[in-house]
Amino acid sequence: MRELATLDAMRELVGQELATTDWIEITQERVNQFADATNDHQWIHLDAERAARESPFGGTIAHGFLTLSLVSGMLESAIRMVDMKMGINYGLNKVRFPAPVPVGSRVRARLTLQKIEDIVDGAQLEWSVVIEREGSLKPVCVAEFVMRRY
């Protein structure tokens, strides 16, 4: 985990990749739980036999939004902003899912601090997040993630 002591120290790092997270395995159980939590029960995520037979992916795949939902936890696991009391997700400027995440894959994120803007009582940070799948040349998710820290 990378520790960043102060917001001022972070300002000097804008434009740099600050961390690469550990790998996370995408299991069928995780996909099933996400389907239940979001009511997205499309067969390409849940029905391994049908997905093997009918989908272009050869098996079940994770929801794109499941992959995206990992971003907050990935950031928290890789970077500790020591002087931050509270952080909130503020939104996304852009998200793409260039490649699927087959069940059984492992994914990780590369985190680049793109921008820091002052706000009342804190700062707004924009992160470039590139989620990679182990063994794939193409990323599975590319996002501009915006958070506020206080």
Express each pLDDT in 2-58 by its tens digit: 999 999 999 999 999 999 999 999 999 999 999 999 999 999 999 999 999 999 999
Question: How high is the pLDDT of residue 99?
Answer: 98
Residues 14, 127 contacting (CB under 8 angstroms): no
Domains of the chain: 2-25+71-149 (3.10.129.10)
- pTM of the entire predicted model: 0.94
At residue 46, the pLDDT reads 98
DSSP state of 82: T
Confidence grade of residue 144 (pLDDT, cut at 50, 70, 90): very high
pLDDT at 78: 97
